[in-house]
Chains A and B, each alone.
Chain A
Amino acid sequence: MSQVREPEFDRIVAWVLRIGAFGCFFIMLAGLIDGLFVHGHTPVDI
C-alpha cells in the first residue's frame, strides 16, 4: 500500500531538503544584495 508512510524517513528527507533550500536562499540573497548595492563587476566563479 502506497498510502503507508514512514514518518522518521520523511522527517530526515525533509531536514535535508530544508538545509538545501535555506542554503540556496542565502546564497541567492547574497547575489541579490550584491547586484543591488555593489557597483561594478563582481566575479562569480567559484
Chain B
Amino acid sequence: VVTVLLVILGFFAGFLGALTGIGGGVLLTPILALHFGIPIRQAIGASLVAVITTSAASSSVHLQRHTTDIRLGMTLELATAFGAAVTAYLVGYFNRNALEGLFAGFLLYSAITILSKRGKVKPLEDESVLIVDETVIPPYEPKRYPLGLAASLVAGALSGLLGIGGGPIKVPVMYIFMNVPLMVATATSNFMIGVTAAASAIVYYRRGDILVQYAAPLAVGVFLGSLLGARMAPRIHTKVVVYLLVGVMFYLAGHLILHLLRGWL
C-alpha cells in the first residue's frame, strides 16, 4: 500500500513540479518525513532522486519547445553549485533556524509580489516576439544579473542545508527581479534543479541515505507526472501556473514557520 501511495504522491509532485519549475523536492521531503515516517535524511535522499527525474523528464520537453534559456540557466547554476559546495563544508557554522526564517520570509514576500504581478511581463519596446519551431517566446532581456547570481548562491546553500533543488528561490528571482517571463523562468528552473540535486544526491548516496524502496516508486510516479505536466504546460493559462506556484510557496512558508514555532515553544 505504501509503495502505491508513493507512486501516486510522486505523480502529483512531478506534475506540479514540472508546471511550476520548483521540482517537487520541497513538497516531498516534509510529506515523506511527517506522513510516511521516513527518517529525514532518507526522505531528502528520495526527494533528490525525484527532483533529478522531474528535471530530466520535463526539461527534455521544455527544451524541444525552446522555452528553456540554457545560457541564463548555466550562468546562474555556476553560483548555485558554488553555494552548495561551500555549504557542504561550512554546514556546521550556519544557524539553521535563522536560514529557515529567512527562507520563509522570502517565500511570503515573493508569493505576494507574484500575486500582484499575476503573470504580467512588461514587454520591451520595439521588440518583436520570437517564434522558434512554432513556440512563441515573449520578448525579454534578463536584468540584474548580480542579484540573480547572489540569489542562486543562496539557493545552492539552502539546497545543501534543507535538501531542496532551489526551485522555489530560482523561479521567483528570475520572474520578479530578472524580468524573465514565467514560462521561461519555470522551464529554466526545471533545467537547473536537476544539476543542483544531482550534486547533493551524490553525497546522500555515498552516505547510504538513498534507499531503493522509497526512491523507486517515487521516481516512477514523478517521471510520469512530470512528463504529463511539461506536455500540458503550454495549454495551461499563466494565471493557473501563478496560483499553483503561489499556493506551493504559501504552503512551504507556513510549514517552515510552524517548524520554527515548534522549536521555540
B125 CB–A CB distance under 8 Å: no
B217 with A17: CB separation less than 8 A = no
Residues of A within 8 A of B220 (CB): 25, 28-29, 32
B70 with A9: CB separation less than 8 A = yes
B66 with A28: CB separation less than 8 A = no
B140 CB–A CB distance under 8 Å: yes
Size bracket of the B interface? 35 or more
A11-42 toward B: CB 8 Å interface, digit per residue (1/0)? Answer: 10111011011001100110110111000000
B49-86 toward A: CB 8 Å interface, digit per residue (1/0)? Answer: 10011011101110110101111100000000000000
| A residues contacting the other copy or chain, number (CB 8 A) | 27
Chain B residues at the A interface, C-beta cutoff of 8 Å: 3, 7, 49, 52-53, 55-57, 59-61, 63-64, 66, 68-72, 130, 132-133, 137, 139-142, 194, 212-213, 215-217, 219-220, 223
Can you name 21 A-B pairs with beta carbons within 8 Å? A2-B140, A3-B130, A3-B137, A3-B141, A7-B133, A9-B70, A10-B64, A10-B68, A11-B63, A17-B63, A17-B194, A18-B57, A20-B56, A25-B57, A28-B49, A28-B215, A28-B216, A31-B212, A31-B213, A32-B217, A36-B3
